[in-house]
Structure 1
Amino acid sequence: MLESPLLQSGEQVTRETFWGISHVGEAVFYYLAAVTIIVFLYGVYQRFARYTRGSEDWFDRLDDLPGRITSAAKTVASNEKQFNRDLVGGVMHAFIFWGFMTLLIGTTIIAIDIDIFRNLTAIITGERQSFFVGDFYLSYSLVMDAMGLLFVAGVSIALWRRYVSRTDRLHGKHTSREDDFLVWSLFFLGVGGYVQEGLRLLGTASVEAGSLAITSYEEVSFVGHFVADVMFVGGMTPGMAEAAYPIMWWSHAILAFVFVASIPFMKPFHMISSFANIVVKDEKAGKRLPGVPAALDADSGAESVDSFSWKEMLDQDACTKCGRCSSVCPAKASGRDLDPRDVILDLKQYRESVDAGGETTDIIADGGQVIASESMESCMSCMACMDACPVEIEHLKHFTKLNRQLTDQGDIQPSLQEVFQNVMQKGNTFGNSQRTRGDWTEDVDVEVPDAREQEVDYLWYVGDYPSYDDRNKKIAHSLARIFDAADVSFGILFDDEKYDGNDIRRVGEEFLYVELAGHHVETFDECEFDTLVTTDPHSYNTFKNEYPEVDFEEFADDPMMPFDVEEPWNPDGDIDVYHWTQVVEELIEENALGLDGTELDYTVTYHDPCHLGRYNDEYEAPRSLIRATGVDLHEMPRNRDNSYCCGGGGGGLWIEQEEEEKPSEERLREALEDTDAGSAVEKFVVACPMCMTMYEDGRKTGDFEDDIEIVDIAELVVEAIDAGGVSASATDAGTPSAPADD
């Protein structure tokens, strides 16, 4: 082995940590390190102190904290959400994350050895000892070089995507110099570490016969070894490297200090806030929404920055500007005035401005300075933004509060105001007489029982559109025939059924929603049934996830609430709530409908409804029913949790929009052009009455009437039953058990 300044004791395998740095330099380094840590801790303290001044969140997000931390650590460590819809982005982030963490751990190990272990051993044994030697040192050097290389590779991909290929979603109105600072500082920290290592290896090497001779065991530092070789070939001598090393060392150290000190004050803070945000996430975010206190002057949550909850502020700080939410937003893709990322960052920017003494204004208004009312009117409540977000930002909660503020201010479109009036006066969104709600049953050739008059197994909530809309009545007819053919015990509420309230809640009308919930709970309590089944996924979502959350007792003394309910409804899930596809899937599995999977011969594709899929993770039941009819099912490229919204949710059915292309038109184009079967697709299958309405409209406006037919799964199943010769009374399978919960 060659003689080298690296050898501290005979042939001991290690290196001098402060090689080439004077004792004065070491003292200055520790001083700057202390200042950096103080600035970092103070900045983090300021951030979290601001959260404590936020309003209380609506439920306990710190319950089972150890479990939450463990779950968050798994999510972050696996980078699982980073790979969602973006393989290259996932690989990039994994390289950066694990490379950064390895380098951070490596730096911490050296600090422990120098500042703790050596001093402790000196006190205990009278001799300073180090564990940074031998096999540990060799393993350390190898791992640091390998993971550092991945780190540089990941940052290089980030630079390429940001500045060369210019990935669209990475750029927007909030793109700033701090984005440049983050990515370039990481790049120079990673590359600078290797340059520093190369200088050290070259400066401690010898030259024999014109060749560079580096200490043999340092070959484990394969990247640093390569850099040293390149420098030597380029004309640098060991003496030049030794002279340049302190300059590089200090440059690297100062950049590291600046980066660490800046973390609480700039974009790098997301390394802390994002993890915290994942820890305190709501597993049911979006599918359930926080209520509003019963007081008439209750704060909507968006009146001022003082209304923001600590979680909402954490959401804002956790945003990394990655644009994943923007890239999947159907409203943005349609040319509507909405970018989910910008809404979150606009709120953050305004909050920080007010905190700094800036001027206050209405947070949301027509053409507002912070958020424009048009932006919230554009939202379809499809939750694609939340599903795509890698740091669990709860966009829909922010949007709903903004919509509530619009409603409180009276700044809503006349068409939406008309819907509110219809629901208040008639109990439905159409404004039709409530007495005619069950009239659709007169046109179906089976008996539809009244669940108010007899005990049933399945209480079927039909919904507004299947009750009043001519096209969607066919779905109600089909489902009634399916239940009758399977010989199940079912019934409906006729004129005691009102609108479920799911979407008017999402456009801001909270008190009307509570009134509807109270009416239905009161009605449910008067009926005898085992399972609540819905036609509409929107109804399914609100009955399953939101009705149990309503605090009826808080409204018990309110004369404006015409119901007598004080206890929570179904808080423990004793009453099963299902979408009809889940129930019928069980019926088919029990052969209650006599289908053998050969009845129909169509080429079809299926559209996942947002409220059944992304909201409630039900993807298999609808597909199982479609396949049971014998058709040839081809998936669209955007399917399951990546499904593209029809445009009808979040009030989209009722609000007039200016858009370049309707979401329904784009989706039908995708079905006919991007699906494997292409133009051979004959039927576009849906499982939601709102989807049916939007796609029938899109078929006309997009000029697809001669190309494809829109059908509901229930219509396919009935056609298969008829093709198989199963009549309404042909089966005697009896009443099946309720399906397992999804």
Structure 2
Amino acid sequence: MNPVAERPVFEGFEHTWLVPAFYVLAFIAIGVFLYGVIRRIQRYRAGRRQPWYPDWPKRLIRATAEVLTSRKIGRRDLYTGIAHGFVFWSFGFLFLGTTIIFIDNDILRLIAPKLQFWKGDFFLAFSVVMDISMVLFIIGLGMLAVRRAFFAVARLNYARVDNKPVDRSNYKKEDWWFLGQLLLIGVTGLLIEAFRLVADRPWFEAYSPVGSLVAQGFRATGMTPQTAMDWHFITWWVHAFLALGFIAYLPYAKSVHMLASWASLTVRNPKAGIALPPPPSETEPGLPLAPAAENLSWKELLHFDACTKCGRCHDVCPARNSGAPLSPRDLILDLREAISGFHGMKRPGAKVGHLVAESDLSSQEVSAALEPGELIAPDVLWSCTTCRACVETCPVGIEHVPIIVQMRRSLIDQGTMDGNLSATLMNFARKGNSFGQSERNRAKWVKEAGVPVPDARKQEVEYLWFVGDYASYDPRAQKVAQALARVLTHAGVSFGILYEAERNAGNDVRRVGEEGLFETLVEKNIKAIQSAKFKKVLTTDPHTYNTLKNEYPAYGLEVEIEHYTELLDRLARENRLPVKYPQNVKVTYHDPCYLGRYNRVFDPPRNLIAHVGATLVEMPRNRENSFCCGAGGGRIWMGDTLYPTKPAESRIKEAKQLDGVTHFIVACPKDLVMYTDAVKTAGYEGQLEVGDLVFLLEKALGLANEVVEETVT
């Protein structure tokens, strides 16, 4: 019968003073760790105040689920997802194993020896789990090292898009140090087990399957038990120094994301960018171009610490992909360095390009050392389309869009903006629309619709249709409004509009940073909406849909909002839109940012495409991964000088590569305008037809003069 399986924690320690020496080192490491954590908490407390959240239990559960699943890390990058999963879960089990040994050896052994459990069957199961975890830990780290060294992942070179002469070689060094430190901890841990097995030859060696294989290799080289025990002693201390050093260093380096990520995900706003917060009060200043710590909220400071420099936001940004000077990653790193230096570590006299890093300077002095606009140039901020792709893809919950908008508010206050944008904002102030046209012209499109369009202020209707600027004034988008009016009338839907009382909803006005003008538009629109008699609000423009649905409630408007694709999809399912002429064409569909990524309306447009009989070929980047047309965030009102390549042209070229696709379908008036122009400038006029989804439906219902009957190729 085999004896009880167990082993001493400090096996081979001939000098008793070594054990207390280890505990002294451990307490020092923990003290340095706690000091680093306290420093960061103090810095958060110095930040601008922000209300605490009432739904902490739900937030903690949601954040824990995201951390445990790491779903965003593996999305669209399976290799990295697997590698990170190996590292994350193995590290968790190894940490749990160390905790178990601490509880058994340092607590129960002293106060309740009879309750010690690290022996027998539990010990055998523990050995198997720890052995496999250690190997998977090493494999995962090896995969990440290979990826970094040989895969030539562009985002990992930290190249800037604005060509600032900033030396970021320290980032690469830090990445390799972080990876190498963990890899050495893993390898030395495995070697300790192998050397122990060579020295002891326990009967339960098989319960350390990988360690046993390594031990057999050492035995094959002629290693004696005494030599193995000598190497065990040396390796044990190397492993201890590495592990304790990692604990001490954790709050001061890239590894801080292991603490900050979970906290960042807990406090993140699921509607970040979807519903923007109002500007901070005068007593709590907002975010200028060269901010000090107190200009940032404690949550923003926490987000900066959580950033792992992974570059996912850098990859998906339409501005960066189009050659504009914005990279969401660079923005966050610049702000972090300006506020706290390199990961909060003081480096006397350190400078990072034009940025002054924290040495013995206070955050106020750091801010004063920067000229306005030097840290974050206006062109960087005006490049943003507020598409929210950065927020969507960030695995640690950083909220880029609200930060950019808040800094744009500083630019608006200074009058630093594109001339076209300035003129457009003046149009809003004078006429309530971006075109600067008379309010009386807003409903001129009704004359050519061919159906009655009631005034919802005078006649009770089921749907109050908030048409929006482009569908009201742009000749191309007016055809969308006219076609939709005919389709709704055909389906027997009761609807009406506000005529001259409607103003732009203000979604993009707010996102360029003109908060005062936004509030003026909101006040006038709510007054007009409340003067009408209706049950629900219908929108044509996803931008309007977003702000009415997500931002107007804060100003007292509580109504049910639908995008026209949602309504038409429901009408089709109720058999109120019977198809007379199936559209036998191959189409692709572009998910508008404000309809898809912002509000998760993905299926209704696709259902309608299937309803009319068309064949849908998905774009490579679709649904929440859709690529912005470039119109959002007020970009449609600005010049193209910041964009060497137009995002809309890139999208059209992407669609043109799809086999047999002849129609590019949109569900946003701004998209119709942007992509109609892009087809021409890209040289595909006559090869790819851009059309709103309602055009396809109108033809299928037999309401249009021309019915498309092309053959699917």
**Normalising to structure 1: TM-score of the pair?**
0.88
**Residue 502 (structure 1) aligns with:** 507
Stretch deviating more after TM superposition (517-526 or 237-246): 237-246
Q: Secondary structure at the match of 1:216?
A: coil
Residues 1:13 and 2:5 aligned together: yes
Stretch deviating more after TM superposition (275-284 or 347-356): 347-356
**Residue 401 (structure 1) aligns with:** 406
Match of 2:181 among 181, 185, 196: 185
Q: Secondary structure at the match of 1:577?
A: strand
Counterparts of 1:641 and 1:220, CA distance in 2: 46
The alignment of Structure 1 onto Structure 2 pairs a total of residues equal to 675
Q: After superposition, what is the alpha-carbon deviation per residue over 1:372-408, rounded to whole angstroms, capped at 9, x for unaligned?
A: 1111111111111111111111111111111111111
State the AA in 2 paired with 1:357.
Answer: L
**Residue 691 (structure 1) aligns with:** 671
**Residue 357 (structure 1) aligns with:** 361
Match of 1:315 among 295, 303, 314: 303
Residues 1:328 and 2:301 aligned together: no
Match of 1:543 among 548, 567, 578: 548
Match of 1:72 among 51, 63, 87: 63
Q: Secondary structure at the match of 1:454?
A: coil
Q: Secondary structure at the match of 2:537?
A: strand
> 8 Å contact 1:599–1:723 — kept in the other structure?
no
State the AA in 1 paired with 2:437.
Answer: N
Judged with a 3 Å threshold, the aligned counterparts in structure 2 of structure 1 residues 365 and 591 are, in CA distance, closer, same or farther, namely farther
> 8 Å contact 1:475–1:714 — kept in the other structure?
yes
> 8 Å contact 2:194–2:211 — kept in the other structure?
yes
Residues 1:60 and 2:67 aligned together: no
**Residue 201 (structure 1) aligns with:** 197
Q: How far off is 1:176 after superposition?
A: 3.7
Counterparts of 1:293 and 1:371, CA distance in 2: 20
Counterparts of 1:579 and 1:176, CA distance in 2: 46
Counterparts of 1:529 and 1:293, CA distance in 2: 35
Q: After superposition, what is the alpha-carbon deviation per residue over 1:299-355, rounded to whole angstroms, capped at 9, x for unaligned?
A: 343363221001111111110111111111111111110111110111111111358
State the AA in 2 paired with 1:625.
Answer: L
**Residue 289 (structure 1) aligns with:** 276
Residues 1:49 and 2:42 aligned together: yes
**Residue 327 (structure 2) aligns with:** 339
Residues 1:415 and 2:398 aligned together: no
Kindly report the root-mean-square deviation, in angstroms, between the aligned alpha carbons of the 2 structures. Answer: 2.0
**Residue 30 (structure 2) aligns with:** 37
> 8 Å contact 1:363–1:369 — kept in the other structure?
no
**Residue 560 (structure 2) aligns with:** 576
**Residue 140 (structure 2) aligns with:** 154
Q: After superposition, what is the alpha-carbon deviation per residue over 1:691-742, rounded to whole angstroms, capped at 9, x for unaligned?
A: 1111111111111113101000011111111179999xxxxxxxxxxxxxxx
> 8 Å contact 2:338–2:367 — kept in the other structure?
no
Counterparts of 1:370 and 1:203, CA distance in 2: 60
> 8 Å contact 2:48–2:284 — kept in the other structure?
no
Q: Secondary structure at the match of 2:142?
A: helix
Q: Secondary structure at the match of 1:593?
A: coil
Counterparts of 2:447 and 2:158, CA distance in 1: 55
**Residue 238 (structure 2) aligns with:** 251
> 8 Å contact 2:286–2:296 — kept in the other structure?
no
> 8 Å contact 2:698–2:704 — kept in the other structure?
no
Q: How far off is 1:479 after superposition?
A: 0.7
> 8 Å contact 1:287–1:541 — kept in the other structure?
yes
Counterparts of 2:75 and 2:417, CA distance in 1: 35
- Structure 2, unaligned runs of 5 or more: 160-167, 341-356, 708-713
Residues 1:712 and 2:696 aligned together: no
> Aligned runs of 1:120-159 on 2, under 5 Å?
120-122=111-113, 130-159=116-145
> 8 Å contact 2:339–2:366 — kept in the other structure?
no
State the AA in 1 paired with 2:41.
Answer: F
**Residue 171 (structure 1) aligns with:** 157
Judged with a 3 Å threshold, the aligned counterparts in structure 2 of structure 1 residues 436 and 294 are, in CA distance, closer, same or farther, namely farther
Judged with a 3 Å threshold, the aligned counterparts in structure 2 of structure 1 residues 201 and 294 are, in CA distance, closer, same or farther, namely closer
**Residue 514 (structure 1) aligns with:** 519
Judged with a 3 Å threshold, the aligned counterparts in structure 2 of structure 1 residues 235 and 41 are, in CA distance, closer, same or farther, namely same
State the AA in 1 paired with 2:563.
Answer: H
Judged with a 3 Å threshold, the aligned counterparts in structure 2 of structure 1 residues 525 and 298 are, in CA distance, closer, same or farther, namely farther
Stretch deviating more after TM superposition (215-224 or 534-543): 215-224
**Residue 104 (structure 1) aligns with:** 95
Counterparts of 1:382 and 1:19, CA distance in 2: 59
Q: Secondary structure at the match of 2:204?
A: helix
Q: How far off is 1:361 after superposition?
A: 4.3
Q: How far off is 1:293 after superposition?
A: 5.5
Q: How far off is 1:31 after superposition?
A: 0.4
Q: Secondary structure at the match of 2:465?
A: strand
State the AA in 2 paired with 1:301.
Answer: L
Counterparts of 2:475 and 2:195, CA distance in 1: 79
> 8 Å contact 1:302–1:363 — kept in the other structure?
no
State the AA in 2 paired with 1:692.
Answer: L
**Residue 77 (structure 2) aligns with:** 86
**Residue 207 (structure 1) aligns with:** none
Judged with a 3 Å threshold, the aligned counterparts in structure 2 of structure 1 residues 53 and 504 are, in CA distance, closer, same or farther, namely same
> 8 Å contact 2:157–2:172 — kept in the other structure?
no
Match of 2:484 among 479, 483, 486: 479
**Residue 602 (structure 1) aligns with:** 585
- Structure 1, unaligned runs of 5 or more: 2-9, 205-213, 551-567, 728-742
Q: How far off is 1:153 after superposition?
A: 1.1
Q: After superposition, what is the alpha-carbon deviation per residue over 1:255-290, rounded to whole angstroms, capped at 9, x for unaligned?
A: 111111011111111011100011112121111100
**Residue 346 (structure 2) aligns with:** none
Q: How far off is 1:177 after superposition?
A: 2.3
State the AA in 1 paired with 2:361.
Answer: G
**Residue 438 (structure 1) aligns with:** 443
> 8 Å contact 1:609–1:691 — kept in the other structure?
yes
**Residue 634 (structure 1) aligns with:** 617
Q: How far off is 1:80 after superposition?
A: 1.5
State the AA in 1 paired with 2:627.
Answer: Y
Stretch deviating more after TM superposition (350-359 or 104-113): 350-359
Counterparts of 1:400 and 1:514, CA distance in 2: 15
Counterparts of 2:598 and 2:359, CA distance in 1: 35
**Residue 554 (structure 1) aligns with:** none
Match of 1:667 among 644, 651, 672: 651
Counterparts of 2:613 and 2:248, CA distance in 1: 63
Q: How far off is 1:184 after superposition?
A: 0.8
State the AA in 1 paired with 2:6.
Answer: T
Judged with a 3 Å threshold, the aligned counterparts in structure 2 of structure 1 residues 518 and 724 are, in CA distance, closer, same or farther, namely closer
State the AA in 2 paired with 1:87.
Answer: L
Q: Secondary structure at the match of 1:182?
A: helix
Counterparts of 2:150 and 2:680, CA distance in 1: 41
Judged with a 3 Å threshold, the aligned counterparts in structure 2 of structure 1 residues 697 and 355 are, in CA distance, closer, same or farther, namely farther
Q: How far off is 1:579 after superposition?
A: 0.6
Q: Secondary structure at the match of 1:460?
A: strand
